[in-house]
Structure 1
Amino acid sequence: MAALTEHSTLPLPAFDSAVKLLIVVAPYYRAIADDLIAGARAAAERAGATVDLIEVPGALEIPTAVAMAGRLAGYDGFVALGCVIRGETTHYETVCNDSSRGLTLLGLQGLCIGNGILTVENIDQAVVRAAPDQQDKGGGAAAAALHLIALQRRWSGTRRPVGFAPEDRDPVRLAGALDGSSLA
């Protein structure tokens, strides 16, 4: 039964060319954020990746910053870091759900993102999860981004049609094209 509770982590991928990560952190709980950053930097360094760091006001702004950088900057992947601790109101659920949803949607659009935004009940849980010598969730988020980058590079250039279109199809012939062309 103990085998069911053991955790497994993949070894960090190796890269043939340089990898550039952007860490986007909400430093509301500065000590927690610093531990998350240290873990993410260490994992990136072990994989030979370079890292830039930006700070945003809160966890809700992390997906927006990642989206902007994904459109406007030359990063291979992103590491989202922050900490949300349950309080007395439902604001906790909003911040946790919406920041996670935003990052997930960006990932589904093709960005390589490791989500290291801690969602915890109290500061003690945050300390354990953030510490590089304990659960190292910052390092885990960087590793996740690196694995997604490796997959993206592995599959880049591979294009397959979506839907019912056959892979090797003949051009479609159009009847009565105005420009005299009969091929689409």
Structure 2
Amino acid sequence: MAGTEYTLPRATFDKPVKLLIVVAPFYRDIADMMIEGAKAEIEASGATYDLIEVPGALEIPTSIGIAERLSNFDGYVALGCVIRGATTHYETVCNDSSRGITLLGLQGLCIGNGILTVENRDQAVERADPEQMNKGAGAAAAALHLIALTRKWGTRKGVGFMPDAEEYRLAGTPKDTPTA
């Protein structure tokens, strides 16, 4: 039921933020509602965005990976809709698009996942409509919150443990060897 979930306060920034909205418009009306919600949330936070369209949900993680390597976005908003059909293609698209986005996130990318995975069109409309669940705005807000966390904790890329420079030197690495 819309309106019963807790929503974090809007992320705030002291430097400009630029997002890339990547949308798979297979269900054009659903995609347009999600885009509307995402744009409103991004603009309300004072950020800017570019928008690209890709053929389907499976292409969203690949497009984000390409943009990360070749452009200068702070974060990404993944938007699309997968409605269950009569074949197992639904599971493949849902699982693989989500897995791709998760793997990119674990590499340090700030991605709000707004790929709807629903049983029917009514569920899709309820989730996409800015006057109802507004999942496009939710995905944009998630990306913005991840950007805020990234900026709070610094600019180091990648994941995993990075030893303190002094601990690294004491472990036998010469002092003039770069550590990060």
- On whether the aligned pair clears a TM of 0.5, the verdict is yes
Q: Pairwise mapping of residues 57-136 of structure 1 onto structure 2 (< 5 A)? A: 57-136=55-134
The offset of 1:125, in angstroms, is: 0.5
Q: For residues 173 and 135 of structure 1, what CA distance do their matches in structure 2 show? A: 55
Q: For residues 48 and 166 of structure 1, what CA distance do their matches in structure 2 show? A: 36
Instruction: State the percentage of identical aligned residues.
Output: 64
Could you tell me which residue of structure 2 aligns to residue 43 of structure 1?
41
Could you tell me which residue of structure 2 aligns to residue 30 of structure 1?
28
- Measured against aligned partners, the alpha-carbon deviations of 1:91-125 in whole angstroms (never above 9, x if no partner) come to 00000000000000000001000000000000000
SS in 2 for 1:70: helix
Match of 1:144 among 127, 142, 145: 142
Q: For residues 138 and 123 of structure 2, what CA distance do their matches in structure 1 show? A: 16
Match of 1:18 among 16, 35, 45: 16
SS in 2 for 1:58: coil
Q: For residues 145 and 175 of structure 2, what CA distance do their matches in structure 1 show? A: 46
CA 1:73–1:182 in structure 2 vs 1: closer, same or farther (change >3 Å)? closer
Look at both structures and tell me which one has the larger radius of gyration over its CA atoms: 1
Could you tell me which residue of structure 1 aligns to residue 161 of structure 2?
162
SS in 2 for 1:168: helix
Q: For residues 157 and 115 of structure 1, what CA distance do their matches in structure 2 show? A: 22
CA 1:83–1:148 in structure 2 vs 1: closer, same or farther (change >3 Å)? same
CA 1:30–1:172 in structure 2 vs 1: closer, same or farther (change >3 Å)? same
CA 1:29–1:173 in structure 2 vs 1: closer, same or farther (change >3 Å)? closer
Q: Which amino acid aligns with 1:117?
A: I
Q: Which amino acid aligns with 2:69?
A: R
CA 1:182–1:14 in structure 2 vs 1: closer, same or farther (change >3 Å)? closer
Computed over aligned residues only, the root mean square deviation of the Cα atoms, in angstroms, reads 2.4
Q: For residues 135 and 109 of structure 1, what CA distance do their matches in structure 2 show? A: 29
Structure 1 unmatched runs, 5+: 175-180
CA 1:146–1:161 in structure 2 vs 1: closer, same or farther (change >3 Å)? closer
The offset of 1:62, in angstroms, is: 0.2
Could you tell me which residue of structure 2 aligns to residue 177 of structure 1?
none
Give the length in aligned residue pairs. 173
In the superposition, the TM-score normalised over structure 1's length comes to 0.87
Q: For residues 126 and 173 of structure 1, what CA distance do their matches in structure 2 show? A: 58
Q: Does residue 53 in structure 1 map to residue 47 in structure 2? A: no
